[in-house]
Every structure is written in structure tokens, then in C-alpha cells.
Amino acid sequence: MSESTDTAEATGIATCVRLTYDEREYPADVRDWVLEGVTDETFLASFRRRHDTVTGGETFDEFVSCGCGSPRDVTLRVAAIDGGSRVEESTDLVVEPTG
């Protein structure tokens, strides 16, 4: 463990949260839109504001814009957490497709 991870665990702040979603739930022609939506900094900033804590395996039902007013529901799962469980503005969020 690194010193920064030790400090984060002591303060309860997550330094990094890895979120995953199943890309097979979406037609091939919108998968790139979904990935772009869930990795967009505006979406990630909103996620940080709305979710102040996370736990491993927890899921969140979110929606993202897929262009032209076409929102898509996306279920994000917490795959890994570095540091504590509290999400703050400084928490790095990494979103990856699975499947």
C-alpha cells in the first residue's frame, strides 16, 4: 500500500473508485455513446456530488445521454475502491465496460 492510500483510508476518503457496466446490455451502435457518456467529466462530477459513499459490489442506476435526446439507463457496479469509502471531489472515478 502506498502512503497516499494509507492516508486516504485513515481519513475515509476514496482516492480512486473503479466502476464497471455490462456493455452487452446495449446495441452495438450505441455502445460508444454509452462509454462516452459514463466517462464524461460532467457525468463523473455529478456522480461524485450525488453519491457520498460507496461500497464494493454496490450498484447505481444512472442514465446518460446518447445524443439527440436519447438517454440510456446504465447500471454501474463498484468493482474496486482505493482508500476509504467516502467519495469527494478529489476522488478519481474510472469507468470501464465489461462483457
| Secondary structure (DSSP) of the chain | --HHHHHHHHHTBEEEEEEEEEGGGS-GGGHHHHHHHHH-HHHHHHHHHH-SB--TT-EEEEEEE-STT-EEEEEEEEEEEEE-SB--TT-EEEEEEE-
Residue 8 has a pLDDT of 54
CATH class of domain segment(s) 3-98: alpha beta
Average pLDDT for 63-67: 81
- The proportion of the chain whose per-residue pLDDT surpasses 90, expressed as a percent, equals 76
Instruction: Kindly report, residue by residue over 4-43, the tens digit of the pLDDT.
Output: 555 555 579 999 999 999 999 999 988 999 999 999 999 9
Model confidence at 1, in pLDDT bands (50, 70, 90)? very low
pTM: predicted TM-score of the whole model, two decimal places: 0.86
